[in-house]
A and B are shown apart, each in its own frame.
Chain A
Amino acid sequence: MTTRKSPGLKPLVQVDSQGGTAGSGADDLAETRIAAVLGLKQFTQRPVRTLLVKGLAGTGKTTIALEILKAAGKGKGAYISSRVPKELLEMQIPAMQKTLQNQEFYDIRLEDATTALDFVIQLTGPKKVKTIVFDSWDGLAKELDQKERLRAEKTMMALANNSGAQLVFVSEEPGATTIDYLVDGILELVRVEEQDRAVREFIIHKLRGTKIPQHKYLFTLLEGKFTFFGPYAIPDYTKVNKFVRRPDIDGSYSFGSGALDRLFGGIIPGSTMAIEYDENVPYSALRTIELPPIINFLSMGRSAILLPLPGANDERTNSILTKTLGESVVSDRLRILNVVRTSDLETTQMQKNVTPNEIHEMVTRETTTLREKSKDQSVLLVKSVSALENLFASDLDSLLEVTSQEIITLAQSHDAHILFLAKDSPIRSRILSMSSSYAKLFVRDGTVLMFGVKPHTGIYVLQHLEDPTSPSLTQMV
């Protein structure tokens, strides 16, 4: 049984649209599409002729196979389905409807291995078809004995090899089968649990003749499209855009980032938000959470205080802020207090053996001064708990006491508080229990991920697609 193109059906979702991305770097995201990058670029360029895509049900095998089929070009691909009819596949993956309509579709659910092989011969014979997807081969192969299966697989390899066509086998068999040894490349798709949330990962087991820089990558099936994420890339700060001020959202302060506002709904005046991060989260990733609220606060005519993270480059921070806001705003309504840098302590006329209480008093003094300059007397305090922990390692009780006091005092004001703390912070649990919202950042397969614990959110990949100072968040689904 062969199903040809069904005319008249329009895709429910535009194939190349990239909605659902919390940031709006839609076009840039397209660059990370599977068929256009890394090893699979090699696949589309043909050194890898045969590819096995394996994984359990629901891991995204069909979607990736269709992405590869799409890369073959209109009319140059064929999809042999032993599992799902075309109409159902179009309904299940609407983003791929156009791809399915642009390529030959063979429905072999009721056929045997001989007929399936006959289709492969028909497709490879004229040497016009570039890519053939066999979804799934195991469905048919299970009907054959081991020897017969191996021979049938060898037949397909030989046919593909002679015609120059690429064969993509989709398989639900998790273990190694005969075809594992024959194909040029093996991709395995898995769903793993990360912080009580499901994350998709693909593993490159082999890709003959191709340099594999990394074996595991995260991917999302957002909008039915296979989008994978390379390792986190430090943004290019020379490309800082003009900042667009974001007004308050229903009485809450904006994070200065559409992505963060959509995820957390803004910062409630008087509230404390805790940002917990793993030790391997790059500083530039944290900076995109740290700076936008400050920039927005200042651009709204308010004031801000920043106690940077340990290892922060104050010059760079200053340069970014000056570039986006202008020198006068930064010098007038922002105070950067680098508690681990001696020069700042000297500026504030403190001794090297400063106490948590003295820091607290200093912050209170600065807050009072800056409050006068703020258009509505509100001040944003962005503070690195890690920096203070480093400074007061021998007196953490006092630090906790002072921090608690600050959180309580702040709750009675219209100020806002963002606290950055490391995952292994000794005062972490106490601070988290006092925070009204709480987000976590961590790294997996080189990709930076973020999610909200309070409020509970899905898990997002953090990139810099629009602006180096602003986060782009793409949901993992």
Chain B
Amino acid sequence: MNSLSATSGTDDFATTFANAVHGGLDKVLGQSGATAVLTHMKMTSNLPDPAEFHKKLLTLFGKEATLSLERAIVRDLVTRLKWALDLLSIEGPFDFNTAMLKIKKGMKA
């Protein structure tokens, strides 16, 4: 039961994360830009873990643009989860992986 619940939690996160990636990228890059980027990353359907996704974004867009894109994804994700952004309460500069871990934990809880 626990194991099933854990799997289900992972699936939920993966689906929500995927949707947030599409939503966040759409907002910044537009539909054509987002599709082109995800096609290029070969991530149209199967999104890898956030850490790997972060690396790929960084290669394509560089530090500054990646930060903007990741912020948009996190904002989209938080909206989907109907959270308030300050609930993330991340200290220090924005870090995509830390934010994702926090969301993942929060979804499990």
Contacts and interface: CB of A to CB of B under 8 A. Distances in A.
Contact of A152 (B27, B33, B39): B33
**Most chain A C-beta atoms within 10 Å of own C-beta, residue among B27, B59, B60:** B60
Contacts of B65: 158, 161-162
Interface in A141-159: 144, 147-152, 154-155, 158-159
A117 B59 contact: no
Given A113-B32, A144-B30, A152-B32, A121 B62 contact: no
A162 B60 contact: yes
Contacts of A125: 40, 59-60
Identify the 10 closest CB pairs spanning chains A and B, nearest first: A151-B30, A155-B33, A162-B62, A117-B36, A113-B32, A158-B65, A114-B32, A118-B36, A155-B29, A121-B40
A413 interface: no
Contacts of A149: 30
A112 interface: yes
Given A115-B36, A147-B30, A151-B27, 14 more contacts: A114-B32, A117-B32, A117-B36, A118-B36, A118-B39, A125-B40, A144-B30, A148-B30, A152-B29, A152-B33, A154-B30, A154-B33, A155-B29, A155-B33
Contacts of B61: 158-159, 162
A195 interface: no
B31 A148 contact: yes
A62 to B, nearest CB: 24
A158 B31 CA distance: 16
Contacts, number: 64
Interface in B18-49: 27-33, 35-37, 39-40
A118 B60 contact: no
Contacts of A151: 27-30, 32-33
A148 B35 CA distance: 12
B37 A121 contact: yes
Q: Is chain A's interface secondary structure helix, strand, loop, or mixed overall? A: helix
Q: Is chain B's interface secondary structure helix, strand, loop, or mixed overall? A: helix
A109 to B, nearest CB: 17
**Most chain B C-beta atoms within 10 Å of own C-beta, residue among A114, A149, A154, A155:** A155
A341 to B, nearest CB: 70
Contacts of A162: 60-62, 65
11 contacts: A114-B39, A118-B39, A125-B60, A144-B30, A148-B32, A151-B27, A151-B33, A155-B33, A159-B61, A161-B62, A162-B60
Given A159-B60, A162-B61, A162-B65, A121 B36 contact: yes
Contacts of A122: 40
A154 B32 contact: no
Contacts of B27: 151
B58 to A, nearest CB: 9
Nearest to B68: A158
Interface in A183-233: none
Interface residues of B, number: 17
A125 B59 CA distance: 8
A370 to B, nearest CB: 77
A156 to B, nearest CB: 8
Contacts of B31: 114, 148
A112 B37 contact: no
A120 B79 CA distance: 31
A4 to B, nearest CB: 20
Interface in A125-146: 125, 144
Interface size class of A (residues with CB under 8 A): 20 to 34
Nearest to B69: A158
Nearest to B40: A121
A144 B61 CA distance: 23
A115 B36 CA distance: 7
A120 B61 CA distance: 12
Contact of A114 (B36, B59, B60, B62): B36
Contacts of A154: 28-30, 33
Contact of B30 (A112, A121, A152, A161): A152
B37 to A, nearest CB: 7
Contacts of B39: 114, 118
Contacts of A124: 60
Contacts of A150: 30
A149 B28 CA distance: 11
A122 B27 CA distance: 22
A225 to B, nearest CB: 35
Interface in B34-85: 35-37, 39-40, 59-62, 65
B32 A144 contact: yes
Nearest to A121: B40
Contacts of B62: 158, 161-162
A114 B25 CA distance: 13
Contacts of B32: 112-114, 117, 144, 148, 151-152
